[in-house]
Amino acid sequence: MQKFLNWLEKVLTPMAKAIGENKYLIAIRDGFLLSTPLLIVGSLFLVLTNFPIPNWNEMMSSFLGDNWASMLNMPATASFDIMTILAVAGIGYSLGRQFHVDAMQSAIISLVSFFIVTPFSTPFTPEGATEVYDVASLPLRWMGSSGLFLGMVVALVATRMFVALLNKGWTIKMPDGVPPTVVKSFEALIPSFVIVTVMMIANWIAHATPYGNLQEILFKFLQTPLLSLGNTLGAMIIAYLFLHFFWFFGINGSSVVGAVFNPVLRALSVENMDAFKAGKEIPNIITGQFQDMFATFGGGGSTLSLIIVMIIFCKSQRIKKLSQLSLVPSIFGINEPIIFGLPIVLNPIILVPFVLVPTINIIISYFCMDLGLVNYTNGIQLPWTTPPIISGFLVSGWQAAILQAILIVLGMFIYYPFIKVMDDQYLREEKEAGEKKEDDDISFDDFDFDDL
């Protein structure tokens, strides 16, 4: 095992170093870190509003009133549904600072550029009507994770253009004596005009297509390869490869893949539930419950296994603190804090286990059911926040609960060598940061009073 860890570190450390020195990837990482505290807080409130015990909603309504869920869910909505806005501002700010230009202006230009290529309308069909109306609004659909990929690209492009135009001297020079804030504002005037014009032209071209805007073009393009998927084991593996590939780039893979695949899974779940109620033989292995309860534990990538490894084996303070804060949400299937806080997005070190663990879970679970070792899922609809072990027992019996536990442990073994490489990297960074802080500290011992 130690030889494998040494080999893996030898292969992945240069990659990690290259990533750690890449300005664009650093900007993306820092942009996500801006929203990480809010995502953790929002996750805790999301667990409270979807707590997986019987009659939870009725019990809370008797204490807090009928609107308790919508009120309690506001922190989650306010953080998850504006994730892209925070990331765009953070990416622009970080990249601008690395290129030594006005970071705040970079963030503002990135945000404005993102809003230019995003439609300011939401489709709405009134009750009882068939015609769809476009209502002027700020669509939360694109402010959350669905718009994140385009937001990252726009922030990087807009900020890089801003840097290039400043370096070319396309600025308005102010005379001496003008306050620095005013000077910076006028310096950004011409670059801002050029960038906004370019983004407007891009949006204009997109508007001329049948899709109407860049957001829809991207979303439809990602969904196209999924349209031919069926309900076989091969189809589910392909769907989950796509799903986790999208998550790697910061795109909500569940939304993209689910729009195509979930209707098929729901229909298969209904068939199983009807057969279960009638006392007949349950027909389908691949169902919505199979996906929710056996493919991933703790969210995309089956990151509950990863978090347990982080808590038990990792030594860097960054990873230990993040894992402790992310554990409770992960138990209930919420893993945005770890996706964007570790991060997993654009992190090639974690990509292999992030894709491999769910794929292995699907294959093992499928053959355990096909061989009769575990019962088929019964089609009962459980809250999506139901923790593993409990969920397996309820939808498929005690054998399924044992299978879930085995898969979580297996996932830990797969994640371990990869997260240890990251842990060692972070330990070195923390050590260097501590030594630098000690060197920067001022002590009376540093003064030579004989020189006074």
AA letter at 444: F
Give me the pLDDT at residue 360, please.
94
Q: By the 8 A CB rule, do 318 and 426 touch?
A: yes
pLDDT average per 10 residues of sequence, the chain (452 residues): 64 64 80 76 74 73 80 79 86 91 91 90 76 77 79 92 91 74 81 93 90 81 58 81 80 69 72 77 85 87 93 90 88 85 83 92 93 86 81 86 94 92 84 68 50 44
Q: How far is CA 132 from the centre of its chain?
A: 31
Give me the pLDDT at residue 225, please.
58
AA letter at 236: M
Give me the pLDDT at residue 272, please.
81
Q: What CA–CA distances, in Å, run from 344 to 147, 196, 224, 427?
A: 18, 31, 25, 18
Helices (runs of H) and strands (runs of E) counted in the chain: 21, 2
Q: pLDDT by residue (tens digit) across 350-390? A: 888 999 999 999 999 999 999 999 988 887 767 777 889 98
Which residues make beta-bridge pairs with 133? Answer: 124
Q: C-alpha angle 428/433/435, rounded to 5°?
A: 95
Q: pLDDT by residue (tens digit) across 398-418? A: 899 999 999 999 999 999 988
Give me the pLDDT at residue 18, please.
67
Q: pLDDT by residue (tens digit) across 40-75? A: 777 777 767 767 666 777 888 887 777 887 887 788
Q: By the 8 A CB rule, do 243 and 256 touch?
A: yes
Give me the pLDDT at residue 444, please.
43
Domain ranges across the chain: 29-124+133-218, 230-438
In three-state secondary structure terms, 367 is helix
Helix (H) or strand (E) holding 124: strand 121-124
